[in-house]
Structure formats: structure tokens, C-alpha cells
Structure 1
Amino acid sequence: MKLYIRNMVCSRCKMVVASELEKTGIVPLHVELGEVELKKEPTAKQLQQFSDNIKQLGFELIDDKKSKIIDKIKTVIIELVHHSNEELTENLSHHLSAKLHHDYSYLSNLFSEVEGTTIEKYYIAQKIEKVKELLMYDELSLSQIAVDLGYSSVAHLSSQFKKQTGLTPTFFKSLKENKRRNIEEL
């Protein structure tokens, strides 16, 4: 049996969810971003207790098919941008279709309908948040960041950055108080 959990976007989230499963006596086989595979089906009481506990921590059990697909789209994009060092060698549309086993037009229409934005805009927003993070660390040049995130040029990265934030990457880097947003707020 699998459980799908909204807002589970980082390794700390996985640890928190695993801890809450343990507290309620539910035994997981695997805890991944947005998804938990269970050893056996929990009782209704265990499931309700787990749901209540994680809701207080900002997570939510997902029970309808469309919400699960939306959450999987977000999880794939977050993994791709924030947790993978591999460069995307195919179009995002092909990558999502292959990962989620659905036609991209279906995924795109569903995402836009439910989220009020496109998959591409969500992907760009995630990439810009990663750029902000890398700029704050001040370990990589803008050229290196552009290459690492698959931008065709520094100019392209800078253009998207300014469109998203209203600031140039250089000006953003010079600010003392960088205004990054939580992944789940995007």
C-alpha cells in the first residue's frame, strides 16, 4: 500500500514523516519525497492519527487521483532541480511523461487547471529558487550556476531571474537579506 503526502519536499520532511509513522505504529518499507510505501495496510484509527499528526506539521495526506498526480509532478520537478546533480538530457515534457506514465498534454492541462499556473512556470520558479540558494552560498560563479542548472547562457539565466524577482542576480547577491521562499510556497 502507498500513501501520498503533500508538502513532503526535502530529506528532513522524509525524516519527520518516518518519525510520525513510527509514533502511530505504521511500518514503512520506503519513505520517498511525497510518497510512502507501507509494509501492511494500517488500521483506520492509525491512518487518522497519522493524518492528524502530520497536518499539524504542515503535511497532508492526499486521497484523490488528480491531487496525487499534481503532487507527483511537483515532486519530480523538485527532485530534478534541488536534489539531483544530473543534467536534464531531454525535454521536461518527455521527462515528466516517462516518470509519471501519462501523456504530457494531460499532465499539463491538469496542472494548469488545478494550480492556476503552467508546469513550465513552476519549473522556472524552482530553478530561480535554486539560483538564489547558490548565489547565497557564494561558491559558484553565475556562469557555473547557469551551466549547472541547464541554462543556455548567463544572459538567459539573468533574464529569467529578473523576470521572476525584479532584480538582477548580481544585485540580489549584494543584498544582505536575501528573500528566498520555501519550496512548498511556490
Structure 2
Amino acid sequence: MKLYIKNMVCDRCKLAVQAVFSELGHPVLHMQLGEAETATDLTATEKEELERRLTALGFELIGDKTSRLIEQVKTLIIDLVQKQHGELQQNLSDYLSSRVGKDYHVLSSLFSTVEGITIEKFYIAHKIEKVKELLVYDELSLSEIAYRLNYSSVAYLSSQFKKVTGLTPSHFKKIKGQKRKSLNDV
């Protein structure tokens, strides 16, 4: 049985969700951000209990097709920003269309209607949060961060960073991340 789960944004989320399934006696066969697959179906009572436990941890079961599609787009973007450093070899619209199997204009319109924000702004918000994280870690130069997150230049990264946060990256670095948000709040 494949279930779709909202707000899974990292490997720790996967572990937390996996633990809930195990506690209910339904170990997960396959897990990825936003999805969990078990060998057997859950009864209505088990599904209610699963939903209650997931909700307590900040997750949510997704039932309808539209919500699953939106969550899939979000998961792809988060995964792209968090893990696939510098690997986007095509534009975002082509990447999402090919991964989801839907026309980008359909995805874009649906996403904006449901989320109240464009896909591009969602993507930028997550990239800026990743920039903040990397600035706080202080392990990479701004040039290395720009390369890792597919910015065409340090100037463009700095410009976008200031537009979103109101601060330059160097000023942000000085205050050491006091303005960071959790991924759930982006």
C-alpha cells in the first residue's frame, strides 16, 4: 500500500515516519520524501491511528490527487536544493515536468492556486534558506555556495539574497543566522 505524506522534508522526517509505521506493525518496504509503501494494507482503524500519530509529529496523510501532485513538486524542489548540489542541468520547469509527467503550465497554475505562491518563488525561498544554512556553517565561500546552488554568479546570488532577506550575505553572516526559518515555515 502506497501512502502519501505531507511535510516530509529531510532524512530525519523519513526516520520519524518509518518509526510510526513500525510501531503500528506495518514496516515500510520503500520510503522516499513524501511517500511510504507497506507490504500490506492498513485497516480503517490503523489508518486513523497512523494519521493521528503523524499529525502529532507535524506530518499529514494526503488523499486527493491534487494535493499529492503539489506535494510531489515541493518534495522535488526541496530534494533538489538540499541534496543535488550543482546538478540541475536543465531549467526548473523542464526538470519538474519530466519528473512529474505533467506539463509545467498545468503544474504552475495548480501550484499557485493551491499554495498562493509561484513554483519559482517557492524554489527561490528554499535556495535562500540553504544559502543561509551554508553561510552559518562557514565552510564554503560565497563563490562555492553560488556554484553549489546553480547561481550564474556571486552577484546574482547576493542580489537575490538581499531581495528576499533584506540583508547582504556578508551582513547575514555577521549576525550568524538569527533570521533562519525551519523548512516547514518556508
TM normalised by structure 2 equals 0.97
Deviation at 1:86, TM superposition (A): 4.7
Deviation at 1:43, TM superposition (A): 1.1
Partner of 2:42: 42
Query: Aligned residues: percent identity?
Result: 55
Partner of 1:66: 66
Partner of 2:111: 111
Deviation at 1:171, TM superposition (A): 0.1
Letter in 1 for 2:157: L
Deviation at 1:64, TM superposition (A): 0.9
CA distance in 1, matches of 2:73, 2:153: 26
- Give the superposed CA RMSD: 1.0
Runs of 4+ in structure 1 deviating by more than 4 angstroms, as ranges, are none
Partner of 1:157: 157
Q: How does 1:21-40 map to 2 (within 5 A)?
A: 21-40=21-40
Partner of 1:124: 124
CA deviation string 1:52-82 (max 9, x = no partner): 0010110000011111011000000000001
Partner of 2:75: 75
Contact 2:81/2:127 (<8 A) preserved: yes
Q: What is the DSSP-based 3-state SS (H/G/I as helix, E as strand, rest coil) of the residue aligned with 2:135?
A: helix
Aligned residues: 186
Deviation at 1:45, TM superposition (A): 1.1
CA distance in 1, matches of 2:153, 2:28: 43
Q: What is the DSSP-based 3-state SS (H/G/I as helix, E as strand, rest coil) of the residue aligned with 1:3?
A: strand
Partner of 2:141: 141
Deviation at 1:178, TM superposition (A): 2.4
Partner of 1:172: 172
CA deviation string 1:117-139 (max 9, x = no partner): 10000000000000000000101
When residues 118 and 183 of structure 1 are mapped into structure 2, their CA distance, relative to the original with a 3 A threshold, is same
* 5+ long unaligned stretches in structure 1: none
